Structure 1
Amino acid sequence: MSQRIDGHPYEMIQILEHQRREGNTIGFVPTMGSLHRGHQALVEASRNDGNFTVVSVFVNPAQFGPNEDFDTYPRDNDRDFELATAAGGDLVWYPDVADLYPAEAQTSVLPGDLAAKLCGVSRPQFFPGICTVVLKLLNLVRPHQTYFGEKDFQQLAIIRRMVADFYLNVDVVGCATVREDDGLAMSSRNRYLKPADRDIARTLYRTLQAAKAAFAAGERDATALKTQLTEAWPQGLELDYLAFREPEFLNEVTQLEADTRLFLGAWLRGIRLIDNAAVG
């Protein structure tokens, strides 16, 4: 029987201590709620690894800018509990803001160069907010493994770097992007899209597919391919970035390799869209 815990983490910590004494490993999927099939795939990956699986649902105020959608971000805790448990979650925790950001707290995490590119340029508060809350969550849950989707690949790379830099005893597992039937990467913000906007939003997926096709055909010049893809970008979709990067430190490349990733960020009527994939 799956358990739901609202608020203070004390009860959760006691349950997880019991699981460790029983010899069970802990898997952890941190989310901001508004769960979808992509989140469920993370929960299933943890269960398939044999873990007692914890899902947290917390809309983190620290990662939103002053003009972003914190107040309107979709929230449905009962539905999230149903989806998390249907995927195999054993415990779903809903911390309050005061649990993770008590009034006396003063310390936050300042990530380095990995956070100063791609999404970090237009959203400078985003990755410090993510790192701070993820470090708090990992210290409270103390999982053996934690699961993040490759759709937010920059976030995944930053979390891996933070875990290594702070010698945290947890394995960060990246899971493949889950897509809608039309190729659009699953995202909680997709529900903001009007039916007429979906084909425009699919530009990101089509661009990734075009890059893969060019690489398969022998293209290795990253600058030339970037120019080609940028020139084909449609009006009405505001391009934030289109960049070929290596997968560990996300440095720009001039020559494409199989593991080079194309990163895309855009805005459509104020809705944030991101996607990425390896070209090989």
Structure 2
Amino acid sequence: MPAYCTICSSGVTPSIPHLKCSVCNKYYHIKCYTEDVPDAYSDASWVCKACSLSNALSTPITLSAIENIIEKQFLKFKADIMIEMSQIIDSKLVLVNNRMSEIENNMHRLQTEINEIRESAPNNEATNNIDDVAREICDRNERSKNVILYNIPESVANSVEVKVMDDLKQVVSIVEPLGKFPKPKKIFRLGIPKPNAPRPLKMVFEDCEEAQLYLRSNKTNPNKKFHFRADLTRLQRAKNYAVIEEINLRKSRGESDLRLIYNNNVAQITRANKGRRSQHLN
């Protein structure tokens, strides 16, 4: 039976150099075959390219090769996990450090308040009463979210809702030129209405930081007619009132160089000409 070249389909004769694939038994003229061919073109073990590729694809992957692939993928996965875990740990450490700083600041503030309460307690009675100290601290923490605004004209509207909106508009008009300020979550007047004087306006915020924004605005507010004040407890107000009475008494006795200042909402007496605090009653 005559043989033919798989590529050119011409007959294969002994006079024309050729190769026969030992797998598929197909013939190829050497001149037609573009791949490298053995020196001895009659080599009975020669395999054409098509059969070589087929054998390579059908050759099973060894266990060692599988292990190498898995090991490479695992090492890459492990490295990615380690990087991600390191980033998470770093971020958590930052949060912990920030939280610790916040706790230290709160502890320092509470200790300051306790010392202040002890100094302000009449006859030191509250010093020995832990419940009184705890109540005072809780009251101060709650009031730290509040701000009192004086000298704001009251709305003449009949509706309570309209009055509240009018008060809020006045507050916004005061702070709007100074920057962006959060709106209070609650706003209402204190005390009984009086014909000749507007009642103080109390504003309640989400937290003490929002309230502090309003209190700090006093330094930059050019309109000194309107002044934001902290919401003081009864003990704080009594202490400040006692200092005010003291300075009035001392001025009436001839100490004309005294002046009243507020340091962290605590009234204190200083001498205007020397710039140092004078002794005051507790």
Indicate the TM-score class for this superposition, using the shorter chain for normalisation: under 0.3
Higher RCO, 1 vs 2 (CA within 8 Å, ≥6 residues apart) = 1
Q: Which has the higher helix share?
A: 2
Instruction: Compute the TM-score of the two structures, normalised by the length of structure 2.
Output: 0.24
State the structure with more CA Rg. 2
Instruction: Compute the TM-score of the two structures, normalised by the length of structure 1.
Output: 0.24
